[in-house]
Amino acid sequence: MGLLAARGVRRTDKYGSLSGITVEHRPRSLELLPYVLSGSRFARAASGDPFHSSPEMTRRVGADVRYLLTSNLTLDATVNPDFGQVEADPAVVNLSAFETYFPEKRPFFVAGAGAFSFGSFNCYFCSNTSNLGVFYSRRIGRAPQLGSYVDGLAQFEDNPGSSTILGAAKITGRTSSGFTVGFLDAVTSSEAAHFQTSTGSPRLVQQVEPLTNYFLGRVRRDFNDGNTVIGAVLTSALRRLDDPLLRDSLRQHGEAVGADVRHYWAGQRYSLRSQFVVSDVVGSPSAITRTMESSAHYFQRPDRTETGDGLFSARYDRAATQLRGYGYYARLAKESGDWLWEVANNIRSPGFEVNDLSFLSRADYNWMNANVVRQWTVPGRWYRNIWTSLGGQQQFDYQGMRTDLQGQSFYSMQLPNFWKVNTSYIHHPVVYDDRATRGGPTVKRTGYNDIGFGISGDNRRQLVLGLNGEHATSVGEAGSSLYLTPNATLKFGSNTSVNFAPSYSHSRGTQYVMRQDDPTANAFYGRRNVFARIDQRSLSLDTRLNVTFTPSLTLELYAQPFVANGRYSSFEEFAAPRELRKVVYGRDVGAITEQRDVDGALTGYLVDPDGAGPAESFVISNPDFSLRSLRGNAVLRWEFRPGSTLFLVWQQTRAGSSSAGTFDLSRDRALILADRPINVFQLKVNYWIGL
């Protein structure tokens, strides 16, 4: 029931212009920044592990290069880059079939990212939708895609956590003819995992990521005094698939090409933005079948209507070696005045696939929304400004089923003391769900009523407080969710700040558990899709400390203790496709029996799905979980001469899990401290050379 919304994005094209600047000396044309790194990893290896010892030493060398091609075009390149000083990703619990999105933090890809932007998205209020992006830089240097395959085979393993970036280069800037350009090319190395199975077999080697080349080209140009912008984009990912397993699992190459336009008129009171992208991926039949059956597509749904193949793929064909699709986004809006409005349409065809170099959680939808806004921008006696909106959105899949429908309202206000408050309300009725059974037949998803709220203090103060929250209750069955994120920032003068941002969530609802083949389950095409009620809680305590001792000496600290628990009950299945009603094992149908080990610990459940009927019994392994972790890093940065920097980095990770399933903060806090840590120490020095 998460609320994902964008509201009133500020437009940089309305900023002023700066002119009359004279550069007396031409900047240096070439800058070199070589680095050397030495590091140690301290972690206790498991008994009998032939691949790890403590400590494990690391040594790396590499370099960054910057060259001014012209006064407005810059070439940036990196060879064997290292990003060890970058803050670690936070811990999360993801029980869905979809990948977790993490933002980019690596300096090479963050710098100048605006030159590659495509798929800009804006809405006065919307939720559970995404932009038409074609580039997600974290695909470059990603974790090896077949690492989990080795995990399932190995007792001991040496599995790389990321793909090595052999080199990358980008050109950004503006040409003399007025084109804004961004070109990027990167090569990542082939990666192999070394492992040993539980049978004591000799050490085995499996390639888990192929040699890959990534390319992105982005061009756009302004017309009509900047009121019209037209652009194009091209992406490509090309893999060398020498290993049979890689060839059967991964696409050989994938491309996407698109165009976009943004236009303002009537004194920039009205705007139109539109984007269109065509994607094409090629691979072996098994690789394309894996793509069609992935959570982004689910072509294998047995009640899915087959359509003609044509230019853009929509047919489930296990012999196919190519998949094509398209994406489209358009928004027409009134952007200034007391009254504003917008209408938008967002489309992904069933065969649209850009995950080789972008982030796509799902295709096969036609989304549309509309909002009306009233704003007060002239300060009154009890407010500085007010923004309120009313609207709705809906979504259909390509079979014509409505998979989303909601009415929404939003209100925000800035008080005279510069505090801000906001609240929102969403009503979401029962709709069809073509993703719940993860490739099985379409069912229905319960609706919900959602209330969001937020309050934030004056950022100019020494102590800045804030609170964001969301509470949702289900419509049609018991269920609820609560999410709270307080925030406090304390500034000690101008050089030190501490930020404490804990988050707490508690939800009760329905969760997918497993699929069981059963030829007697005729209504669900020979498979039983098992769900359960879940009571889930998580608590995260994110803390940051930033200290600037001098302009050239800084310290950054980050720590995140995290605990999460989930307890399952009332195992059930849908009564029939395209229905909301479920039947619970042992209450409405069949029987269910707990299974325990010799110590009395719960190991799973034995399910007889139809009592005296012909269906065979099956086992559900105990899905209850309790997770805990502590992630932290400290980075001391010293610029010992202009452009030359020394980094001293300490990273620590602790993690553990059990099947307790209950939320017990004192227990989990003690267990976190008892978990054996992994400590990484790094010393990195780079030296700036200007020519």
Model confidence band, residue 23 (pLDDT cutoffs 50, 70, 90): low
Predicted local distance difference test score (pLDDT) of residue 314: 86
Q: How far apart are CA 148 and CA 241, in angstroms?
A: 18
Neighbours of 292 (CB within 10 A): 22
Evaluate the CA torsion angle 239, 243, 247, 250 in order and state its sign.
Answer: negative
Contact 409, 427 (CB under 8 A): no
Q: How far apart are CA 183 and CA 178, in angstroms?
A: 16
Q: Which residues contact 96 (CB under 8 A, 6 or more apart)?
A: none
> What percent of the chain lies above the pLDDT cut of 90?
84
Instruction: Give pLDDT tens digits for 659-691.
Output: 999 999 999 999 999 999 999 999 999 999 998
Whether the ω angle into residue 379 lies within 30 degrees of 0, i.e. cis, is no
> What percent of the chain lies above the pLDDT cut of 70?
95
* Mean pLDDT of all residues belonging to the chain: 92
Q: How far apart are CA 399 and CA 549, in angstroms?
A: 61
Lowest mean pLDDT among 18-22, 26-30, 624-628: 18-22
For the full predicted model, state whether its pTM sits above 0.75.
yes
146-167: average pLDDT: 92
**Residue 172 pairs with which residues in a beta bridge?**
74, 182
438-466: average pLDDT: 95
Predicted local distance difference test score (pLDDT) of residue 306: 73
Helix ranges restricted to H, 26-126 = 107-110
Phi, psi of 413, rounded to the nearest 5 degrees:
-150, 140
Instruction: Give pLDDT tens digits for 227-245.
Output: 999 999 999 999 999 999 9
Instruction: Give pLDDT tens digits for 178-221.
Output: 999 999 999 999 999 999 888 777 788 999 999 999 999 999 99
